[in-house]
Structure 1
Amino acid sequence: MGKAIGIDLGTTMSATAIVDAMGRPQMIANREGKTLTPSAVLVRGAERVVGERAKRAAIAKPHNVFQFIKRRMCDPDFVFIDEDERQHRPEELSALILKKLKQDAEQALGTEVTEAVITVPAYFADLERNRTRQAGEIAGLKVLDIINEPTAAALAYGLGKGEADKNIFVYDLGGGTFDVTIMNVIGPEALRVLTSGGDRFLGGGDFDADLSAYFVRQFESKHGVDLKKVGDLKTDQAFCDAAELAKIDLSADSQVDVSLSAAGKVLDLTLERRDFEKLIKHHIEKTKDLSEEALAAAKLGWRDIDRVLLVGGSTRIPMVREMLQQLTGKTPEVGINPDEMVALGAAIYAANLSGVTVRNAKGQALKQVSLRNVTAHALGVITLDHEHKDVNSTIIEKDTEIPTEKTRGGYTTADDNQTSVRLQVIQGEDLEPAECIKVGEAVLEGIPALPKGEPKIEVTLGYDSSGIVRLHAKELGSGREIRSELQCPALMSKRQIQQSAERVDALKVS
């Protein structure tokens, strides 16, 4: 029987972990001997290069290297296009990263890997979660579950400490996304999420972009060269790489020396940490605002928070830790490598699901953890207001514990003698449907031909424990009803998944 692993499928870096034969969570090194694999894919003929070599190739092959794939999982229409005009769906590129992780884990463990728990940001919507699940299937994995990154992090920090009724604040600032979650430790083996929030377009990559733009301004000021007119993607990538290295160095040092070249000219400069902090301050302030919004949503004050956990490589930035210390009044915990804890937590959960015993540092067996999660977004249907404009009619509120089912009445027809109603289910808090994500739709037919407004329709929406959305609608007078398990139209069909899996299986992934 194959092994079950935990996978942190990150925006910029991915990682895998497993609970070993002794019951201990352990990171799995890739073929390069590292625990972190860059989430980058290089398209090279019939071969796909994933990881460090792909990331390094971004300067030489900017049109054939795809990064920040995770950020595009929310866009139903987005495709990556390579230099030969070939299109690549985000879930298939994610599957290539997962295939690389699977292959490396099999080599390290000396056995087949067949199952996995994959993590996602807590605020990911139905589309992103299901696309992630489909990516796992395309990569040849049985996806045991999709769990939230902060929840996985809390598992890695350890719930078997005898704690009860403790509130944990998880601040997750990675390379491409920001995630904040507040959860309550009910007991040593029980965890309840209270609320979550975040921004899928906020992370270390944005710090790199701001710093790279600063380098461009300094270069142009010294040499009088307009790098935008040069339009060289290789130069853009080189400046971004230099920015990333400078950012990393400034977490340990107060200044760093940088050398840049473009258009036949060179710029050497010394970057002070305080200058870098000025550039990224607005990003850090946004994470602060989102943290306070989450606290308010959980109906707590900072005095009610017992532990502050840091997740993600960008939390190494001193400015981030100082901000959190001042904001929460507590010293953030840094006992585990922030880049690794999500994968470790996912491995613990994978072990729970596959019947493998997990042990603490003293060798004591831990009971399976019970996770009680909440909806990341509100769920509702599109209806008409008094001005006949489309509006979002919420049925299930954000942060409702799942599984759940809620019913709302008061719906009716918009026209005389209307015998059918199209029910469009959307996910999101905004009143404007265009600002929400479409989950799916169904049609209730056979409604009696009556004057508009007379039919009485009830709509029930529900989430199961896997986050699958179900719809039940009923016209009360006639008893006509419809039941449907919804699937977002942007998701791949079973046939498309199979075809994609065959393509990925035929490709050499290194």
Structure 2
Amino acid sequence: MTAIGIDLGTSYSCVAVFRNNRAEIIANDEGNRVTPSCVSFTDTERLIGDEAKSEESMNYANTLLQIKRLIGRTYDEEIVQKDLKLLGFEVLNKDNKPQIQVNYLNKVTTFYPEEVSAMVLTHLKEAAEAYIGSKVTDAVITVPAYFNDSQRKETKHAGEIAGFNVLQLLNEPTAAAIAYGIENEDEGARNILIFDLGGGTFDVTVMSIKNNVFEVKATGGDTHLGGEDLDNRMVDYFSKMFNEMHNVNMMNSKRALSRLRVACEAAKKKLSVATHAKIQIDGLYNGIDFKTTFSRATFENLNNYYFDKTIKTVEKTLTEAMLDKNKIDDVVLVGGSTRIPKIREMLQKFFSGKTLYKTINPDEAVALGAAAQAENLKLGKFILRDIVPLSLGVEVDGDFMSAVILKNTKIPTTRTINVTTARDDQTTLNISIYQGERAATIDNMFLGAFLLEGILPAPRGVASVELCFEIDSSGILDVSARDMKSGQKNKIIINDEKRLLAEKDIARMTADAEKFKQADEELRNQHKSKNELEDFALRTKQSAQDLYSDQKITKHEERHLVELCTETLTWLDLNKKANPAVLKQKKIELESIAHPIFSQLYLFDHTKTNLPKNSRENCAEFDNVEKFADADSIAATWSPSPNSSTDDSTTFSNSNNENRAGPSNWGNGRSTLRASLISTGQNEQESLKKVTSYDQVLKSLRQKLKNTNDEEEDF
């Protein structure tokens, strides 16, 4: 069955099919190759596309446009509230989700944004079926690269409402790159930059194309920047002009604003080919006519903020792709707004006069690429490697986001990490998912959460929960968790429409990640120091209990260590925000007490498993050494007698070598051992023989520990 590709745009949409070894644009029933993403309702019918667009100025309350800016968003978002002031139709708050109200067939009817988008998709589907001559159900639908998970999910839902089997949600700039690659398949390896500025969204993607492999290097953009924003600036400019000229306030008249918007859009298009455009509207407000001339220079000055923003995004995306602008072979223009002369001038200047790639129709490139990908999913003619636009992670320690899937990771992908409990005998684990580039969760966007129950009771830090993040080829996230011991499982598909990643959040995350880089690094260091102290205290406490059970340390030592570790963990619970320097000092204090107690084990137990075989055999002579000297006396500092032999002096000299590994008092243990042997009644010769063997063991031990110093320090 034939599959089609659809570019579902904010202002206009386009549909294409791949056949006869090439992608073809499908015209609508009026013969136009692009269709307005517009739906209008009257007392007698529903209009879609060009017919609906013609109703915009008169039937403004029932003509729905720019729906893509509402899909997957929440009603209370600042950018949504700002848009609502400029829209002619009524938008209600339904459980914090935008719901559109219209009068259809003399009845008040409401629709969710995805339902309206489904109407546009259905219109395109019917045009495709008429063109192909058969039923069409499979489609690849494109979305902006910076669409978040909720926006992608609702777009896919719209496709399903329209009767499509959505094969894939494809990023718009990636689709355009595929169209470019097909046009230039004989050019060899190339690095390209897709500059996609449409009616409502803006994307920049850097890609490499080699041997039929399309690999995305980096992507950037803004889900709320496009031609509609330029129109809004013009509407605001002219409405203020009209109010000042006639001492009125037309801002509360949706009819007047809708008519002015239509005129501004026409003037904007005119300025792409001329230096001046006229705006004439009869009876704009209170019967007052409005007539003015608008220059290209004024238009450019009015929207210079947006133009500069696009160039800064290009520069940042190239940095993330680790490519110099001189390494870009072609700059491909996509989207109707790239026809604006100022945009082209600034881009060409940024790329040192490079000729921009304008061979592909900017209105059609995305649909052509989507159609090619729909065919490729069946035949596998080329390989596509897309990426994640923003990092995804899980909340740990209550306020820290641990990134699981990093920004610019290739998709589809699966990443797994292990998390654990924070309290003793904890049987449930709340898993919160975030998206963003900051270290603290409060600075990132909350996507959703779920609860894993049935964890077997255990001391904190013991339970192990496997957390799996999976992103499919459409960029939709699926998170699952499994308790490794009990086998309990739970999962979530992030589609909570109440938790969205708005444009303001994306812009803030990107800017703040640079601005507060130092603060983020300090937070990461604090988190690292806290974890190191907690881990050391828990391991030391457990080791002390285990060693006492094996009768390798005394009850006094075990109790002392356990009390110290418990005090440290209690302090840590009360001082989670402590300075890294304080945390490190606490760890040093605990180490200074634990290490002398544990160090004896290197001589009388650990030596056997870490030294060469001959050294372990020598060490066997000292299995029962504790009956000659207690552990504390061996670890204690020993001051040799003035009558100590030359052998003793040599041993002390070696033990003080600055490059040795192990505690500084190990050499003193030699004299302690010798004195202990003599005190038990053994003669001088036998004692000296055993002490000589002790020397050999000690030297081997030092040499071994030199090579494993880093490994042993963790103990």
Q: Smaller-chain TM-score range?
A: 0.7 to 0.9
The amino acid of 2:236's aligned partner reads A
Matches within 5 A, 1:330-349: 330-349=354-373
Shift of 1:432: 5.6
Shift of 1:235: 0.3
Within the candidate set 360, 378, 395, 1:382 is matched to 395
Secondary structure of the corresponding residue to residue 33 of structure 1: coil
Q: 1:121 maps to what in 2?
A: 144
Q: Deviations over 1:101-159 (max 9, x none)?
A: 11122223333222211111112222222222221111011212111111111121234
> Is contact 1:117–1:145 with CA below 8 Å preserved after alignment?
yes
Distance across 1 between alignment mates of 2:443 and 2:109: 30
The amino acid of 1:15's aligned partner reads C
Shift of 1:454: 5.1
Distance across 1 between alignment mates of 2:442 and 2:72: 14
Distance across 2 between alignment mates of 1:19 and 1:165: 24
Distance across 1 between alignment mates of 2:483 and 2:165: 40
Shift of 1:487: 4.3
Q: 1:220 maps to what in 2?
A: 243
Distance across 1 between alignment mates of 2:321 and 2:147: 18
Secondary structure of the corresponding residue to residue 377 of structure 1: coil
**1:400 partnered with 2:409:** yes
Q: 2:49 maps to what in 1?
A: 51
**1:8 partnered with 2:7:** yes
Q: Deviations over 1:395-423 (max 9, x none)?
A: 110110122222334x4334443210021
The amino acid of 1:236's aligned partner reads L
Distance across 2 between alignment mates of 1:112 and 1:473: 41
Q: 1:18 maps to what in 2?
A: 17
Within the candidate set 65, 68, 76, 1:67 is matched to 65
Q: Which moved more, 1:428-437 or 1:205-214?
A: 428-437
Distance across 1 between alignment mates of 2:480 and 2:277: 60
Shift of 1:460: 2.9
Q: 2:207 maps to what in 1?
A: 183
The amino acid of 1:313's aligned partner reads G
Distance across 2 between alignment mates of 1:10 and 1:438: 27
> Is contact 1:163–1:185 with CA below 8 Å preserved after alignment?
no
Distance across 2 between alignment mates of 1:444 and 1:432: 23
Q: 1:488 maps to what in 2?
A: 495
Distance across 2 between alignment mates of 1:143 and 1:240: 34
Runs of 5+ in structure 1 lacking a partner? 356-366, 492-510
Shift of 1:264: 1.6
Distance across 1 between alignment mates of 2:117 and 2:277: 34
Secondary structure of the corresponding residue to residue 304 of structure 2: helix
The amino acid of 1:321's aligned partner reads R
> Is contact 1:30–1:108 with CA below 8 Å preserved after alignment?
no
Secondary structure of the corresponding residue to residue 425 of structure 2: coil
Aligned CA distance change for structure 1 residues 41 and 430 (closer, same or farther; 3 Å):
farther
Q: 2:263 maps to what in 1?
A: 242
Q: 2:36 maps to what in 1?
A: 38
Distance across 2 between alignment mates of 1:101 and 1:156: 20
Q: 1:496 maps to what in 2?
A: none
Distance across 2 between alignment mates of 1:46 and 1:414: 63
> Is contact 2:451–2:490 with CA below 8 Å preserved after alignment?
no
Distance across 2 between alignment mates of 1:241 and 1:432: 44
Q: Which moved more, 1:60-69 or 1:280-289?
A: 60-69
The amino acid of 1:133's aligned partner reads K
Shift of 1:244: 0.4
Within the candidate set 272, 297, 310, 1:251 is matched to 272
Distance across 1 between alignment mates of 2:428 and 2:385: 38
**1:267 partnered with 2:276:** no
Q: Deviations over 1:352-390 (max 9, x none)?
A: 2244xxxxxxxxxxx7121011112211123334xxxx4
The amino acid of 2:73's aligned partner reads D
> Is contact 1:78–1:90 with CA below 8 Å preserved after alignment?
no
Distance across 2 between alignment mates of 1:235 and 1:489: 37
Matches within 5 A, 1:67-86: 67-76=65-74, 77-83=96-102, 86=109
Distance across 1 between alignment mates of 2:27 and 2:149: 31
> Is contact 2:6–2:142 with CA below 8 Å preserved after alignment?
yes
Q: Which has the higher helix share?
A: 2
Q: 1:425 maps to what in 2?
A: 433
Shift of 1:456: 4.6
Matches within 5 A, 1:440-459: 440-450=448-458, 452-453=460-461, 455-459=463-467
> Is contact 2:152–2:476 with CA below 8 Å preserved after alignment?
no
Q: Which moved more, 1:39-48 or 1:275-284?
A: 39-48
Distance across 1 between alignment mates of 2:130 and 2:334: 28
Shift of 1:293: 1.4
Within the candidate set 455, 467, 470, 1:462 is matched to 470
Aligned CA distance change for structure 1 residues 474 and 83 (closer, same or farther; 3 Å):
closer
Runs of 5+ in structure 2 lacking a partner? 75-95, 499-715
Q: Which has the higher strand share?
A: 1
The amino acid of 1:102's aligned partner reads K
Distance across 2 between alignment mates of 1:391 and 1:265: 58
Matches within 5 A, 1:308-387: 308-329=331-352, 330-355=354-379, 368-385=381-398
Distance across 1 between alignment mates of 2:385 and 2:467: 25
Q: 1:167 maps to what in 2?
A: 191
> Is contact 1:4–1:354 with CA below 8 Å preserved after alignment?
no
> Is contact 1:415–1:452 with CA below 8 Å preserved after alignment?
yes
Distance across 2 between alignment mates of 1:37 and 1:466: 24
Q: Deviations over 1:260-297 (max 9, x none)?
A: 33222123211110000001100011111111111111
Aligned CA distance change for structure 1 residues 464 and 284 (closer, same or farther; 3 Å):
same
The amino acid of 1:157's aligned partner reads Y
Shift of 1:465: 3.3
Structure having greater relative contact order (Cα 8 Å, sep ≥ 6): 1
Aligned CA distance change for structure 1 residues 95 and 450 (closer, same or farther; 3 Å):
same
Distance across 1 between alignment mates of 2:479 and 2:214: 28
Q: Deviations over 1:213-245 (max 9, x none)?
A: 1111221232222223xx211100111111100
Q: Deviations over 1:331-369 (max 9, x none)?
A: 2100011001111111111222244xxxxxxxxxxx712
Q: Which moved more, 1:369-378 or 1:168-177?
A: 369-378
> Is contact 2:393–2:401 with CA below 8 Å preserved after alignment?
yes
> Is contact 2:28–2:35 with CA below 8 Å preserved after alignment?
yes
The amino acid of 1:14's aligned partner reads S
The amino acid of 2:255's aligned partner reads K
RMSD of aligned Cα (Å): 2.3
Distance across 2 between alignment mates of 1:374 and 1:201: 20
Shift of 1:480: 4.3
| Higher Cα Rg, which structure | 2
Secondary structure of the corresponding residue to residue 71 of structure 2: helix
Secondary structure of the corresponding residue to residue 63 of structure 1: helix
Secondary structure of the corresponding residue to residue 309 of structure 2: helix
Aligned CA distance change for structure 1 residues 458 and 142 (closer, same or farther; 3 Å):
closer
The amino acid of 2:495's aligned partner reads C
**1:233 partnered with 2:254:** yes
> Is contact 1:438–1:488 with CA below 8 Å preserved after alignment?
no
Aligned CA distance change for structure 1 residues 414 and 17 (closer, same or farther; 3 Å):
same
Shift of 1:327: 1.1
Normalized against structure 2, the TM-score is what? 0.62
> Is contact 2:181–2:209 with CA below 8 Å preserved after alignment?
no
Shift of 1:13: 0.4
Normalized against structure 1, the TM-score is what? 0.86
Shift of 1:64: 1.8
Aligned CA distance change for structure 1 residues 152 and 413 (closer, same or farther; 3 Å):
same
The amino acid of 2:261's aligned partner reads C
